[in-house]
Structure 1
Amino acid sequence: MGHNHKHSEPLSDTALRAKTLESLLVEKGLVDPATLDALVDRYENKVGPRNGAAVIARAWCDPDYKARLLADASAAIAELGYSGAQGEELLAKENSDSIHNVVVCTLCSCYPWPVLGLPPVWYKSAPYRSRVVREPRKVLQEFGTDIASDVEVRVWDSTAETRYLVIPQRPKGTEGMSEDALADLVSRDSMIGVTRALDVSDAGAR
């Protein structure tokens, strides 16, 4: 499925103010558009998701922490110092050999910013938001994620009140790895549920 679809949902007041400010800064020559795009890309793909990756790595290493994360994700995530707007009510859903979780927001683009950064364009697109509910296996396959027929796929719909974080399965062969090394195996997309965590060999090739 194409991940660059345009969508025409009205922007929130905050988004409108940000867009207006961005336009003014660019117009007055105070901000270089390319630099701004690079900063947004860095927050969307690197800085923001690193918070979530640290949470997942801790859960993989510490069973007690994982239990707290599953019981009260907001509180467990706050233990690591991550909180803020768009992350007030978080629920964690753990992938297993029998269950694969994937997250969507069918109404707009609700997203847990404190642990995942900015939402990717495809997450906000109308095709993803509608199709992943109707045909999740096919959509996941388009992300390169094949789900066996005996694995249940659960789709979680984020709302203004509740956001979701997927705990991907820990890759095999990672016993003894440090939390920092494990965090490198956790991608933004794996915490949305459209992909799995990286294998050790894949992480080394990035």
Structure 2
Amino acid sequence: MSHDDHHHHDHDDVAVRAAALEALLVEKGLISTDAIDAVVDLYENDVGPQNGARVVARAWVDDAYRERLHANGTGAIGELGYGGFEGDTMVVVENTPEVHNVIVCTLCSCYPWPVLGLPPSWYKSPAYRARVVAEPRAVLAEFGLELDPDVEIRVWDSTAEVRYLVLPMRPPGTESLEEDELAALVTRDSMVGTGLPLSPTGAAA
């Protein structure tokens, strides 16, 4: 068994154990499914993505920091206090007008937890993991992201060793915004590559 296969086997084993523990706690009345769902939602949509949003916003306002992100993603992200389990080796890929990046884990659901929180259910689904590699433009369109035909789409496959973070393009009309205001525009999907940051008016850029 390869290292990657062993990692994914361990990952699946942890998921089964977690599901069994959850069922037992609910059965004993020690915790409700609503409470579990609330915690999962918090980490999936708020806590983790906020960390990544701060990384992106810093890169938007600080060219030297952006260069460090490209040179050593793990180290630059660590400068802001984010790292550890599921984020040991981070590679940051930057979107440009000519290139759009999207991340996936075709073997399992490896995901940069320190900057994005828990992976959403669609990221773990076999359909996304298979189709985004074979037909990325069609999959992105289903997310509501229509890219011009001349934009190259690059798909990055996360592994047990390397995880990716997409650095989206800064929305136009944000030149006067402070770093915290910019971070509020960064969505989880824009850091996966299946969406774009919000515009200053609240719509997708």
TM-score with structure 1 length normalisation?
A: 0.91
Unaligned runs of at least 5 residues, structure 1: 1-8
Partner of 1:200, secondary structure, is: coil
| Residue in 2 that maps onto 1:145 | 145
Q: C-alpha displacement at 1:14, in angstroms?
A: 2.5
Partner of 1:149, secondary structure, is: coil
Superposed CA deviations along residues 127-184 of structure 1, whole A, max 9, x for unmatched, are 1111111111111111111111111110000111110000000000001211111011
Structure 1 residues 1-206: aligned runs within 5 Å? 12-202=12-202
User: How far apart are the structure 2 equivalents of 1:181 and 1:45?
Assistant: 18
Partner of 1:202, secondary structure, is: coil
User: How far apart are the structure 1 equivalents of 2:21 and 2:149?
Assistant: 49
Q: C-alpha displacement at 1:13, in angstroms?
A: 2.9
User: How far apart are the structure 2 equivalents of 1:183 and 1:171?
Assistant: 11
Partner of 2:165, secondary structure, is: strand
User: How far apart are the structure 1 equivalents of 2:69 and 2:20?
Assistant: 38
User: How far apart are the structure 2 equivalents of 1:13 and 1:127?
Assistant: 21
User: How far apart are the structure 2 equivalents of 1:12 and 1:142?
Assistant: 28
Partner of 2:91, secondary structure, is: strand
Q: C-alpha displacement at 1:203, in angstroms?
A: 5.8
**1:184–1:203: 8 Å Cα contact kept in structure 2?**
no
User: How far apart are the structure 2 equivalents of 1:70 and 1:112?
Assistant: 16
User: How far apart are the structure 2 equivalents of 1:170 and 1:86?
Assistant: 26
- In terms of mean alpha carbon deviation, does 42-51 or 20-29 score higher? 20-29
User: How far apart are the structure 2 equivalents of 1:203 and 1:74?
Assistant: 31
What is the alpha-carbon root mean square deviation over aligned residues?
1.5
User: How far apart are the structure 2 equivalents of 1:16 and 1:138?
Assistant: 32
Q: C-alpha displacement at 1:56, in angstroms?
A: 0.3
TM-score with structure 2 length normalisation?
A: 0.92
Q: C-alpha displacement at 1:17, in angstroms?
A: 2.8
AA paired with 1:59? Answer: A
Q: C-alpha displacement at 1:185, in angstroms?
A: 0.6
AA paired with 2:127? Answer: P
User: How far apart are the structure 1 equivalents of 2:154 and 2:127?
Assistant: 18
| Residue in 1 that maps onto 2:3 | none
Aligned length: 196
Q: Percent identity?
A: 60
- Hey, which bits of structure 1, 4+ residues long, moved more than 6 A? none
Q: C-alpha displacement at 1:32, in angstroms?
A: 1.2
AA paired with 2:55? Answer: V
